[in-house]
């Protein structure tokens, strides 16, 4: 199935542009992108590769641009309004009939998602790629239930393994943690390794 362009009407009449790949399984994931002020959007290679992994596993995908990014209306809101954007995307998938929802984010997207999950979003599984613990504070994330997978790079200065371990012990969770060798925050030559790990997780 190809992706189709869709528009989500969010809070305060924010209109979010997205790409939806439909699947007949009842399972769907919202994918969230890196920091908009540093070039992040729904079309970055990591997000597109993640989407392909979910689609191969029979899981519908919704990748979208946060407010103020690309063709989405509104403006950047330091992660606050972006949390509402994630909730709007999850609601959109529910309205489409998907009853098993997943949430997966990369970098800034994973930071936004963590706040949404901590605040009680109803998702079956939560996955983080390079949570930017050295760049953004996770202090307001008090709990992170249903977090099944975290991936980061051995050379990721924004998501160093030591800080990820510290967060896991604070949240008292034990997700599968994969550290990719010779990989930095941008996964330049590591998309295949990322795909291998994510695909293996989704099939297990």
Name which of 114, 166, 164 is nearest 142 in CA terms: 114
pLDDT tops 80 at residue 169: yes
Inter-residue contact 128 to 147 (CB < 8 Å): yes
**pLDDT > 80? residue 26:** yes
Residue 197: what are its φ and ψ, rounded to 5°? Answer: -65, -50
Average pLDDT rounded to a whole number, residues 87-112:
98
174 pLDDT exceeds 90? yes
What percent of the chain has pLDDT above 90? Answer: 98
Question: Domain total for the chain?
Answer: 1
- CATH number for the domain spanning 150: value is 3.40.50.1820
Range of the domain at 111: 3-203
Per-residue model confidence (pLDDT) at position 1: 74
**Global pTM?**
0.98
């Amino acid at each position: 199935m190809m992706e189709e362009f869709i528009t989500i009407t969010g809070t305060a009449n924010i209109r979010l542009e997205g790409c939806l790949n439909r699947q007949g399984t009842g399972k769907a994931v919202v994918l969230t992108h890196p920091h908009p002020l540093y070039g992040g959007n729904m079309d970055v290679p990591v997000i597109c590769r993640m989407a392909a992994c979910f689609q191969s596993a029979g899981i519908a995908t919704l990748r979208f641009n946060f407010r103020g990014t690309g063709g989405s209306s509104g403006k950047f809101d330091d992660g606050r309004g972006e949390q509402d954007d994630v909730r709007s995307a999850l609601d959109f998938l529910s309205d489409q009939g998907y009853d098993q929802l997943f949430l997966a984010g990369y970098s800034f997207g994973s930071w936004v998602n963590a706040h949404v999950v901590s605040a009680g979003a109803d998702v079956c599984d939560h996955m983080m790629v390079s949570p930017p613990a050295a760049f953004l504070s996770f202090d307001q994330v008090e709990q992170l239930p249903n977090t099944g997978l975290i991936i980061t790079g051995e050379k990721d200065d924004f998501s160093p393994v030591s800080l990820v371990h510290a967060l896991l012990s604070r949240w008292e969770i034990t997700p599968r943690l994969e550290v990719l060798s010779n990989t930095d925050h941008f996964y330049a030559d590591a998309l295949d390794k990322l795909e291998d790990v994510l695909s293996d997780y989704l099939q297990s």
